[in-house]
Amino acid sequence: MTELSSRIAGIGSHLPERILTNDEISAMVDTSDSWIRERTGIRQRHIAGEGVTTCDLAERAARRALDDAGLAAEDLDLIVVATTTPDFTFPSVGTMLQARLGATKGAAFDVQAVCTGFVYALAMADNMIARGQARTALVVGAETMSRILDWTDRSTCVLFGDGAGAMVLQADETASGPERSGILGTYLRSDGRFKDLLHVDGGPSSTGTVGHLRMVGNQVFRHAITNIAESMTTIAGRSGVTIEEVDWFVPHQANQRILEGVARKLSIPTEKVISTVADHGNTSAASVPLAFDRAVQDGRIKRGDLVLMEALGGGFTWGAALARF
Ligand code: UT7
């Protein structure tokens, strides 16, 4: 059976209006704007207003991606939503989004790989398209991380924000060879032994509560640089391209120092690294498509450019995706 390529037909994102500054957080916990900027690069983050849910953010991003693709909801036969902060334990945000958009064909579901969620979701959709199980897929990363933060814990509450990003993928029979456009490769990893370093201390089957995010930040930091660099060299090698040939790097936005550490390790010029962490903070599964969309909107990422996305998150999960936009 011939494998089909997944072309990136459209992209979109959405951030809630409310901006929470470092100074505002400094009035809530023992921290400061200078500590947050120096250790993370974060200046502000967006926070969903009362009553605004992950599905609301996902819908706004999805509609923009569909508009950008020039497609309608009825064209979709697959919706994959990456989220750790769903509206409900079930149904999935994916099926809720399907109904909101008015899509009735195919399948919709959620993927839970925390900050690596978008890379995982992209891999699911790309593989289903390659096998002919879907032709037009909506892939969304959407989070309301603010709802699972312990707002008295300065080591975590300063780091995260809310938002959503979406991509529309379409089967492309015409493309072949390394110059083809769309998703060129995905690489997924996990290692459950590290669960205690980054986790949520509640859930439906354990505590019966939603729980709060807990992280041993400095240990996650060390694993992040090593594992992200490994996933980037692996995906490039498997796809037959060199790191030097990549036009843009769209990393998960956890910490500016991680972005710079990985760039240094792989000798990547920092101008090629898309960074939104200063304005968005860490939006978990939403961070990669949010950063990608920003760089498309401001004209840096253009059609035909080779783009490498990567992420690491709780689990641990990590991975990378290479695409010709
Ligand atoms: O998205 C999933 C992946 N997540 C990540 O990749 C996050 C990885 N980790 C990080 O980004 C960084 O480790 C942090 C930003 C979380 C922390 O930075 P760090 O340089 O690793 O600091 P640290 O955890 O080693 O803490 C240094 C000091 C500690 O004080 P003592 O023990 O040295 O007195 C902390 O208590 O900084 C203190 N600290 C703070 N001080 C002011 C921790 N959080 C804060 C804060 N404000 N918000």
The string of pLDDT tens digits covering residues 268-278 is 999 999 999 99
Measuring from atom 39 of ligand 1, which residue has the nearest CA?
155
The catalytic residue positions are 115, 252, 282
Alpha-carbon gap, residue 233 to 213, rounded angstroms = 30
| Domain range summary for the chain, segments of one domain joined by + | 2-175, 182-324
Among 112, 169, 170, residue whose Cα is nearest residue 141:
112
Measuring from atom 23 of ligand 1, which residue has the nearest CA?
218
The 8-class DSSP code of residue 254 comes to: S
pTM: predicted TM-score of the whole model, two decimal places:
0.97
pLDDT reported for residue 178: 56
Both tokens assigned to 299: 């004209």
For tokens 């750790």, what's the residue? 84
Strand 44-46 versus strand 248-251 pairing type: unpaired
Query: What is the position in ligand 1's atom list of the atom closest to the CA of 25?
Result: 48
Q: What is the mean pLDDT of the chain?
A: 97
Cα–Cα distances (Å) from 250 to 135, 176, 183, 275, 277, in that order, read 25, 24, 14, 8, 11
The string of pLDDT tens digits covering residues 106-116 is 999 999 999 99
Both tokens assigned to 234: 């692996």
- The highest-level CATH class for domain 2-175 is alpha beta
Q: Is the CB of 39 under 6 A from ligand 1?
A: yes
Is the pLDDT score of 179 beyond 70? no
| pLDDT grade for 174, boundaries at 50, 70 and 90 | confident
Give the distance (Å) from ligand 1 centre to CA of residue 138. 35
Tell me which of 21, 25, 31, 39 to substitute to probe ligand 1's pocket, judged by most ligand atoms within 8 Å of the beta carbon.
Answer: 39
| pLDDT grade for 173, boundaries at 50, 70 and 90 | confident
pLDDT reported for residue 177: 61
Q: Is the CB of 218 under 6 A from ligand 1?
A: yes
**Is the preceding omega at residue 316 within 30 degrees of 0, hence cis?**
yes
Tell me which of 218, 259, 260, 284 to substitute to probe ligand 1's pocket, judged by most ligand atoms within 8 Å of the beta carbon.
Answer: 218
Q: Is the CB of 158 under 6 A from ligand 1?
A: yes
CATH number of 182-324: 3.40.47.10
| pLDDT grade for 180, boundaries at 50, 70 and 90 | confident
Is the pLDDT score of 49 beyond 70? yes
Tell me which of 29, 33, 35, 155 to substitute to probe ligand 1's pocket, judged by most ligand atoms within 8 Å of the beta carbon.
Answer: 155
The string of pLDDT tens digits covering residues 279-320 is 999 999 999 999 999 999 999 999 999 999 999 999 999 999
Rg over alpha carbons for the chain, rounded to the nearest Å, is: 18
pLDDT reported for residue 12: 98
Q: Is the CB of 221 under 6 A from ligand 1?
A: yes
Q: For 137-177, what is the HEC assignment? A: EEEEEEEEHHHHCCCCCHHHHCCECEEEEEEEEEEECCCCC
Query: Is it true that 2-175 and 182-324 share their CATH fold?
Result: yes
pLDDT reported for residue 65: 98
pLDDT reported for residue 60: 98
pLDDT reported for residue 176: 63
| pLDDT grade for 181, boundaries at 50, 70 and 90 | confident
The string of pLDDT tens digits covering residues 73-87 is 999 999 999 999 999
The string of pLDDT tens digits covering residues 19-29 is 999 999 999 99
Share of the chain above pLDDT 90, in %: 96
